[in-house]
Structure 1
Amino acid sequence: MIYELNHVGMFVRDAEKSINFYKEMLGAKVVFDHSIPGRVHMAYLQIANGMMELICLEDREANFGYEHICFMTDNIDEDFQRLVQAGYTTIEAPRNAASGNGRLGFLADPSGVKVELIERDSTFRIPTITEGDIREFDHLSIVATDLEASEQFYTQHISMNPLSRKYAEAYDVTFSHLHKGMENLELMHIGESKAEGDRILHIALRVDDVNVMTEKLKSQGVGLDPGYPKAAAFGGGLTAKFSGPDGEKIELVDRKPLQEI
């Protein structure tokens, strides 16, 4: 059974630089750290209630940033085979994790998003971090070139629950929100013309006041994307976007939680 949306995984150029960025700028805590000298350094960071996996490979020279989303399962062989039989594409069959902690495998969702299933004794999750500026890991946003097919994959086969579907006319984008407990996934249908871009778009963090938070980030040398802050696409409040050390997009919002909209 698939029981948790666990993390978003990304490749980074410099593990220590990225870890320090998320700790100092966004109040992240390291909940797992593992290195194989000369080969790989991987770390799990928790921000509020959500997690990121940072992977630094010594011989990697390109394609840094978000790479996969991960769900926990209590039986990887059964769940992986069930998804393959349903017609979803295998990227990597289940194998032992390089860290020696559990077993993992990868498939592609209908829009080509890389989805990891992992079975291990610990989720690495700690109680929600309440101190600091981040109130909630609001959502993880991914592309849905075929929105209905993506919704079917995540609700029928990954057992996520639908929250809402909203069309933002100003952006010509449909947002479909799903959740697994308090972990939220945003499917963005942005049209076939953009289907060849990044499949994992951004993480979104909820704060008390976007203007206050962005001023704090700018005072520490973090630049905002052009045009931000601006009105959020839905739910009221403001939104702002900026980039992490490897170009990964991070969104701030100060509206109500998705479960309350």
Structure 2
Amino acid sequence: MATDTSKYKFNHSMLRVKDPKESVKFYEFLGMKLIRKLEHPDAKFDLYFLAYDSPSAVSHGKHWTDREGIIELTHNYGTESDPEYKIVNGNTEPYRGFGHVCVSVDNIQAACARLEEAGYRFQKKLTDGRMRHIAFALDPDGYWVEIISFNHIETTADIKETSVETYRMNHTMIRVKDHEKSLAFYKDIMGMKVKRVSENPGAKFNLYFLGYGAEAPDTSPNDTNPVADSEGLLELTWNYGTENDADFKYHNGNDQPQGFGHICVSVDDLEAACARFEEKGVSWKKRLTDGRMKDIAFVLDPDNYWIEIIQNESLKQRASW
């Protein structure tokens, strides 16, 4: 049976959290909704799936496996009361790897003011540094949440209101050692398309935005980032020269100490997709037939990041979640 990569979706990004109540509260404040909770008391962990679900949201009302731009929060029982427990956010040496998730908003100045007034911390405010068009908020565990605008920020400077119902979970950023190997993997193996490239030779890094669906426009009608109003993109950050250092590697978030866990792609036919991955010679963390959980598989990308593979239940029913 064949599998069609054009039907794949970049479903979610998983983050381990210390206190789910505080983390869910933060992402709900950003306008997301808890669309599914999977409890695993025997294994002592719960999963919280949050996504934008207003009537104007891209994936409004869809089954959670038939969406893009979900954030999955994983809570291992007891961490909330353990004073020694903390995650690594992927941005501190020597554990850099995962960088951030990103939410795109209507009026960035008002959106940032709203977060600040609610008492949430920032890694970078709009007024910090040279880049005055982006900000980085911090979630309760210290994960970076980039805030960008899908409107021209000069036109929103005097607007004091923001509507969270218009927000998008735009992208997830991971750092990659060798951009050519990673681009080939995500395009040829995972079936993604390059939507946008941002080259920054002065600062010696490039950004590659990939995703499923239609090709992205070259320009935006608002003269902004043409993919800023998209949902479910993967941003690969490549710092020049890392590919030439034999000893260089990024932290995948699953080796100790832990934080970010994986990204997840939902597919049209799980068995057929995994058979195709096998034919392509991928490295596996978990084959579909391994272990007790027969409804998920994990592929490893060139930097050893985990990619969960699940069935899109709207295309073919398989699991009862």
- Structure number having the greater strand percentage: 1
Given the two structures, how large is their TM-score scaled by the length of structure 1?
Answer: 0.46
Which structure's CA Rg is the greater one?
2
Given the two structures, how large is their TM-score scaled by the length of structure 2?
Answer: 0.38
Does 1 or 2 have the higher relative contact order (CA < 8 Å, sep 6+)? 2
